Chain A
Amino acid sequence: MQVRVLVRLKPGVLDPQGRAVHHALEGLGFAGVEDVRIGRLIELDVANGTDHTALTAMCEKLLANTVIESFTIEGLGEPEGTR
């Protein structure tokens, strides 16, 4: 079973990498970019039946640092879980 975890910096956490990319986009002449935030996509292949609780624990213990990051679990065939 394929699961995707999207890890994003929380609002208010400075993202210097995103800022640099934003600047580079403007340098390339792309107008109208208001902001750029860079996150991380983690694809997991897990045993069928792996429940949301287990995936949430994986995110909280390792995949995301909840001090600075939020995460979204997608592809479970059930309503998306967002924290």
Chain B
Amino acid sequence: MAFRAAVITFPGSNCDRDMAVALEQISGAPAIRVWHGDAELPERLDLIALPGGFSYGDYLRSGAMAATSPIMRAVVAAASRGVPVLGVCNGFQVLTEARLLPGALLRNAGQRFICRTVALTVENTSSLFTSAYVPGEQIRIPVAHHDGNYFADAETLDRLEGEGRVAFRYAEACNGSARDIAGVLSANGRVLGMMPHPERAIEPAAVSALGGSDGRRLFESVFAALASA
């Protein structure tokens, strides 16, 4: 059966097309586009993707307004049924604001917007999203954010690390994130939030000038896991 992924677009999302293209390239099936004001998700989804951008102009706090939108109630309900959810950049912020993931994303420690490709260490390779990576592997993925400084209290950070829920860590100084955390998983491993943009690094090696291809295996991991399920 064709892979069914939904990409949610909020007012101010700007990586929704890139996310849809990445999903289509890897799965061969078109991604279903869903608007924030929709109250219901399509049925039988294999994956829900929350893209990057500046939903609602980052009013109040990044991701806070989007977390209250009608579609997010449906996303929270779907996640509770075990539907995998991927949130990238602003999508990660939305997931923390919706309390699907612990912690919060603060303003970058250096106060500046950071837009460059950074080295990440893959910390967890047993999740739905990371099984195609090698443990401890360093990959290069672009970041583009102002509020990417991951914060959680020490107890939460210890729990995340103890449970193997840190998916990616920055392998170089980036935004001041607690324990260099770049991506975290939910307790059941089926929700991933990350600041770096894997959908911007999916081109085959031949055209890798366009951000590289290290993000490709994240989508391949999800596709392989669900295709074999």
Contacts and interface: CB of A to CB of B under 8 A. Distances in A.
B106 interface: yes
Interface string B58-77: 00110010001000000000
A62 B68 contact: yes
Interface in B38-94: 60-61, 64, 68
A82 interface: no
B146 to A, nearest CB: 11
A21 B120 CA distance: 32
Interface of A: 13-14, 16-17, 20, 61-63, 65, 67-68
Pairs A-B, 3 closest by C-beta atoms: A67-B104, A68-B104, A16-B111
A16 B110 contact: yes
20 contacts: A13-B106, A13-B151, A14-B106, A14-B109, A14-B176, A16-B106, A16-B109, A16-B110, A16-B176, A17-B107, A61-B68, A62-B64, A62-B68, A65-B97, A65-B104, A67-B102, A67-B103, A67-B104, A67-B152, A68-B106
Main secondary structure of the interface of B (DSSP, over half): loop
Nearest to B68: A62
Main secondary structure of the interface of A (DSSP, over half): helix
B149 interface: yes
B178 to A, nearest CB: 9
A20 B68 CA distance: 31
A22 to B, nearest CB: 12
B96 interface: yes
Contacts of B149: 14, 16
Contact of B64 (A13, A14, A65): A65
Nearest to B105: A68
A68 B106 CA distance: 9
Given A67-B96, A67-B103, A68-B151, A16 B64 contact: no
A63 B61 CA distance: 9
A3 to B, nearest CB: 17
B108 interface: yes
Contacts of A67: 96, 102-104, 151-152
